[in-house]
Amino acid sequence: MHVAVLQKEVIKYLDPGPNENFVDATIGEGGHTSVILEKNKPKGKVLGIEWDSEIIKRIELQERVVLVNDSYVNLKKIVERCNFRPVYGILFDLGMSSWHLEESGRGFTFLRDEPLDMRYNSLTGLTAAEIVNTWPELKIEKILKEYGEEKFAKRIAREIVKESKVKPIKTTFGLVEVIKKAVPARYFHQKIHFATRTFQALRITVNDELNNLKKGLSQAVEVLATGGRIVVISFHSLEDRIVKNFFRELSPEKLEILTKKPITPSEEEIKINPRSRSAKLRAAIKL
């Protein structure tokens, strides 16, 4: 079961009122949307956007929800197509759903032996297997450094290319073994698993996550009504940096920043849902 993170904080900063319309730009399994619908009764609606066609089939939500199978990179077009205005708040929850990790079979986690896919939308685009088996060493090193902040990027990239020439790297466990050969033994005993940063870098690249986030944020400000709120939950430093810088660039002319520092989960929430540990929430109001 996917547990929506920072639910109370999302409601506090979105501040949904009766009959107001909101956009959940990453509806996932609908956890946050359910709570918003409680607050914007009786006639308020939620436009729920979900990139993954498999997840959208699983959403069981009541009326007052407009579901769209698309990416928030097309947010402005989606809002116009659905004639969904005025928009009083937009939520981006940038975390992966439990379904992606536990049931999708697409290789998002190094804890299961699955094909190296990593696409949120499995119908189009580049797979992680294509990257590790066809990209040149320098290009792989670059994404591991930039998107994974991996200090052994050079060694891992070299080992990936070397191994893929002998035999294609097709599975998550296969990739983990290659990373294991490339990094020093002391790296096996860090707090973070030695494959974490490589997997993160591949997933970000496959789904073009950071560029999509920049495009989604700028469109969010365009479609929001004056006084509307934007709330973003990020899960690693690269995403959080983009959100922080975006808000700062538009403040104080176009946005009023509501969170001087990011809001993080309570100890109680982390105990109930350990995956919430790295969540950071930032919020702003459109002026």
Instruction: State residue 61's pLDDT score.
Output: 67
* 3-class DSSP state of 217: helix
Q: Which two tokens stand for residue 156?
A: 């891992």
Chain-centroid distance of CA 46 in Å reads 19
Instruction: State residue 59's pLDDT score.
Output: 82
Exposed, middle or buried by CB within 10 Å (0-12, 13-18, 19+), for 260? exposed
Q: Tell me the C-alpha distance between 283 and 256, whole Å.
A: 9
- Residue 227 host element (H or E): strand 224-234
37 touches 103 (CB < 8 A): no
Instruction: State residue 155's pLDDT score.
Output: 98
Contacts of 137 (CB under 8 A, 6+ apart): 157, 158, 160, 161
Identify the residue whose tokens are 């105990």: 271
Identify the residue whose tokens are 């974490």: 196
> Looking at domain 7-99+209-286, which CATH architecture does it have?
3-Layer(aba) Sandwich (3.40)
- Residue 156 host element (H or E): helix 153-166
Q: Tell me the C-alpha distance between 201 and 149, whole Å.
A: 8
State the fold for domain 104-207.
Answer: DNA polymerase; domain 1 (1.10.150)
Domain limits, the chain: 7-99+209-286, 104-207
Q: How many residues are recorded in the chain?
A: 287
Q: Tell me the C-alpha distance between 109 and 111, whole Å.
A: 5
Instruction: State residue 261's pLDDT score.
Output: 96
Q: What is the pLDDT along the chain (287 residues), one digit of tens a residue?
A: 457 899 999 999 999 999 999 999 999 888 999 999 999 999 999 999 999 989 888 887 678 999 999 999 999 999 999 999 999 999 999 998 888 889 999 999 999 999 999 999 888 789 999 999 999 999 999 999 999 999 999 999 999 999 999 999 999 999 999 999 999 999 998 889 999 999 999 999 999 999 999 999 999 999 999 999 999 999 999 999 999 999 999 999 999 999 999 999 999 999 998 889 999 999 999 99
Instruction: State residue 275's pLDDT score.
Output: 84
pTM: 0.94
Instruction: State residue 56's pLDDT score.
Output: 87
Q: Which two tokens stand for residue 202?
A: 């591949």
